Structure 1
Amino acid sequence: MEKQVDILIVGAGISGIGIAAHLSKNSPQRSFEIIERRESFGGTWDLFKYPGIRSDSDMSTFGFNFKPWQKANVLADGASIKGYIGEVVDEYKLKEKIHFNHRVLTANYDSATKKWQVQIEDAQKNVQTWIANFVVGCTGYYNYDQGYQPDYPGKENFKGQFINPQFWPENLDYTGKKVVIIGSGATAITLVPAMAKGGAGHVTMLQRSPTYIASIPSIDFVYDKTRKFMSEDLAYKFTRARNIGMQRGIFALSKKQPKLVRKLLLKSIEIQLKGKVDMKHFTPTYNPWDQRLCVVPDGDLFKILRTGKASVETDHIEKITENGIQLKSGQHLDADIIVSATGLEIQIMGGIKATVDHKSLKTSEHMLYHGVMVSDVPNMALVIGYVNASWTLKVDVVADYLCRLFNFMDKKGYDEVIAPTDHSAILEETVMGEMSSGYIARAADQLPKQGTKAPWMATHNYLADRKELKNAKFEDGVLKFHKREAQATKKPKLVS
């Protein structure tokens, strides 16, 4: 049995829901269906359940451009973010469009019919064939089935609980227990104060190397004030524009004056630690924004370290023992619970086996046209958010562009669009740019490549992307379109 769909959105997380809402608003003539392998929408914000889970971007920019985040808190917990996504689902009546417990197995684009043939496994494990005109990949860029897990020698000997934050045990009781959290990224710096305040006996953050961490206010007082004399919508737009500008300004300054930004960040941490913790644990060897900058609300991490309820160690693991971790320095960390917050395992398109005319599609051999469409692949878009700003900012600009594209194709009578690869523009660098984070380096064989020139460059600059995509012409000499009426001919004419 075959099911015909117009636009197939893969994933009901913040990307998929955002794309769907934009389509409903700006391309109402286009129908769509959403495939979601989980039992609920929300993606990341439905999957992760560890203590303290929250956004690491401010909510004025993490929220959609069409729906104000109506709370003064700068960062939001996971449940609140899922609730926000749920409001969008309800407002745009998307629930009836989402097919839960459905998993895409394979997707093949058939050039003869100009359609995607998608094999989908339903909740009863039956395999269905869906025929789609266009596919939008909204699965994020990490593996939902497993996080990155280093091979720790002696792990099998540990008698306590060994936990990956991606699969947090429900109702875990860590009261009075010694907890060691391996890692220094966003997950680790969230877990440390949350578990220490939640009753753990002692929490140790064990890192191989330090990360840049900035403390930001938990409440946006300016937004809170402006809401009292501006409309909710206007106050949100003002706050959003201000924060976008600040984000971009800090990133640009970090690249232009790395020594200055480094000095400011380290001085801020030193002031908050008040001499209670050695600064060596917070002094990275790399420049600011060579890896993603981590943020903590109201300096909660530094506050808990000052109390002594938590500590930090910078060292390498020699082995896991029966009752903790043996470090290469000779020190032993006793532990009842070990949490391996060592990062994500990147996976493009949720592991779907994609082909074009049954020829395997390897994303690392392609570029992204305007950061939206996979080169040489017809009728496919991929949503990959920013590494230096809120993920949702990219969702908004991609969605706006796609709606304009669909409206253009409908007006002209086109049913196929393709961006042929400009092989002279391909770099070895991935679309993640110069970021040196481990999870990005490990995924070089999966991520699309960066280009040397427009429209193949991934700028990671929201302001530039918003302007470029808003003004982008579709008849630009790069995109190739195929007209419906030409399908009957053996050699359909490609017009640019």
Structure 2
Amino acid sequence: MPVEHVDVLIVGAGLSGIDAAYRLQTRCPDRTYAILEARDAIGGTWDLFRYPGVRSDSDMFTLGFPFRPWRGDTSIADGGDILQYLRDTAAEFGIDRRIRFGHEVVEASWDSSSARWTVRSVADGVSVETNCSFLYLCSGYYDYESGHRPDIPGLGDFAGTVVHPQFWPEELDCDGRKVVVIGSGATAITLVPALAEKAEHVTMLQRSPSYIMSLPAHDPFARSVGRALPDTVAQRLVRVKNIIANLGFYQLCRHAPFVATRFLRWVATRNLHEPSLVDPHFTPTYRPWDQRLCLVPDADLFRTLNSGRATVVTDRIDTVTEKSIRLASGAELEADVIVTATGLKLLPAGGITVTVDGERVDPADTYIYRGTMLGGVPNLALCLGYTNASWTLRADLASLFVCRLLNHMGRNGFRIATPDRHRDPRPKPLLGLTSGYVTRAAAILPKQGSRGPWRMRQNYLLDLPEMRFGRLDDHMTYS
């Protein structure tokens, strides 16, 4: 069976993969490409996560594609609307016709003599090989096969239902049942209001609090400029406003944490009927944005707590019994359903085995180049988004950079582009957060350096000119 060859092979048909495909077919129209997707549907994370209330924790005016602006009514959209938006985008630009579904990529091997990658995927139990000149991994860094499952004493003795949000069973019915959601991150604060609509009672059990910010589900600025200005102008204004506002608040959190902490405490106090809940349940010990800030639209979590349909408990688990969770304080929480919203697992390069001329590449031994490529690895790019802003902002910059690189290679007759092998006496973690899912994966992720193209900055305004117009020969070898 002949092996297919394409110029660029994209792995993943989620948000990043669709963006990459659009940029390739518009910026590099002479390049052939295909997309391999392990699942049977477009959407990536937004097709995988099906738990109640699943939504974006970024505004849709920046999470949406710049080439196809979000035109929905809500700024904070639910998962179903986002998934439909991705499907419609792929269909509108013919990207869906380039996707090979059910192809799980397991191995990618680079051969310098032919300047090609041989990518092996498995489809319906059959091994399939595809050759490409450039490999673009757009599958993010979440492990789609498993979430983080900490060892909870006695959980196996529980007689009710235990579910992880990443694998929410469609048939699960929480109507009239007592539900305990273990966790305090974005998933937990999304689940609690959604489950409380039908459950008898929902308890959010957290070991430690998270900072929570409330924003309007409908952006009043977007509505105002939308009535006064043409669509294209209004959408750009809203996008710029949100980029600046989000980045400005992030900088406030990093450089004036005391001020940011007081503001976030004020947000919680203003929205809770019982301000006494703020200190034990909504005041973390870390500084704002040491871990990802959680976002709730229209203060829905606070409104649910005010209604009495849900409560929040900050304590540690002693053990799980047949019908309850016994806490370190001695208190006991009755439960029919336990939801372990205990976090995600990160998996660099989607778990693909990567070799260069027969030598296996360990991502942990590499440094990230412009947040997009790996030092010492030729013709391969990773699509990584921001941790402090919408994923799409940086994903789109990464794809624009890849297109610039490919066009530069084409104009100069280069077949291979390899970021230099980098070493730094002061390496830094890739993502720069202290969140559990980040620290657990620090030992397996690439590192970032302390300067130059080896830094992965969480700043769109600084990245924009560098990724769009920066030098392409800086710490890069061509042949």
The question of a shared fold, defined as TM-score above 0.5 by the shorter chain, is answered with yes
1:181-196 mapped onto 2 (5 Å cutoff):
181-196=181-196
* 2:228 aligned partner: 229
- Aligned-pair CA distance for 1:427: 3.6
Identity %: 44
Distance 2:133 2:367 in 1: 21
Look up the SS of the partner of 2:453 in the other structure.
Answer: coil
Look up the SS of the partner of 2:454 in the other structure.
Answer: coil
Is 2:230 the counterpart of 1:204? no
Q: Return the letter of the residue paired with 2:437.
A: Y
* 2:466 aligned partner: 468
TM-score by length of 1: 0.95
Is 2:447 the counterpart of 1:481? no
* 1:268 aligned partner: 267
Q: Return the letter of the residue paired with 2:287.
A: N
Deviations 1:203-250 (A, max 9, x none): 000000000001101111111121122221111110000000001100
Q: Return the letter of the residue paired with 2:154.
A: G
1:333-372 mapped onto 2 (5 Å cutoff):
333-372=333-372
- Aligned-pair CA distance for 1:406: 1.0
TM-score by length of 2: 0.98
1:43-442 mapped onto 2 (5 Å cutoff):
43-122=44-123, 124-197=124-197, 199-275=198-274, 278-279=277-278, 280-423=280-423, 425=424, 427-433=426-432, 435-442=433-440
Distance 1:217 1:301 in 2: 13
- Aligned-pair CA distance for 1:277: 5.6
Look up the SS of the partner of 1:50 in the other structure.
Answer: coil
Deviations 1:475-494 (A, max 9, x none): 33x21111xxxxxxxxxxxx
- Are 2:427 and 2:450, in contact at CA under 8 Å, matched by a contact in 1? no
Look up the SS of the partner of 2:416 in the other structure.
Answer: strand
* 1:490 aligned partner: none
- Listed as ranges, the gaps of 5+ residues in structure 1 are 483-496
- Are 1:214 and 1:294, in contact at CA under 8 Å, matched by a contact in 2? yes
RMSD: 1.1
Distance 1:382 1:440 in 2: 17
Deviations 1:148-170 (A, max 9, x none): 00011111111000000000010
Q: Return the letter of the residue paired with 2:444.
A: Q
- Are 2:120 and 2:129, in contact at CA under 8 Å, matched by a contact in 1? yes
* 1:444 aligned partner: 442
* 2:457 aligned partner: 459
Distance 1:119 1:370 in 2: 27
Q: Return the letter of the residue paired with 1:357.
A: D
Aligned residues: 477
Look up the SS of the partner of 1:121 in the other structure.
Answer: strand
* 1:493 aligned partner: none
Distance 2:422 2:151 in 1: 40
Moved more, 338-347 or 219-228: 219-228
Look up the SS of the partner of 2:166 in the other structure.
Answer: helix
* 1:491 aligned partner: none
- Are 1:276 and 1:306, in contact at CA under 8 Å, matched by a contact in 2? no
Deviations 1:62-116 (A, max 9, x none): 0111111112311001111011111210111011110000111111111121111
Deviations 1:313-356 (A, max 9, x none): 00111111101211111111110000000110000111111111
Moved more, 277-286 or 201-210: 277-286
Deviations 1:166-205 (A, max 9, x none): 00010321111000000000000000000101x1000000
- Listed as ranges, the gaps of 5+ residues in structure 2 are none
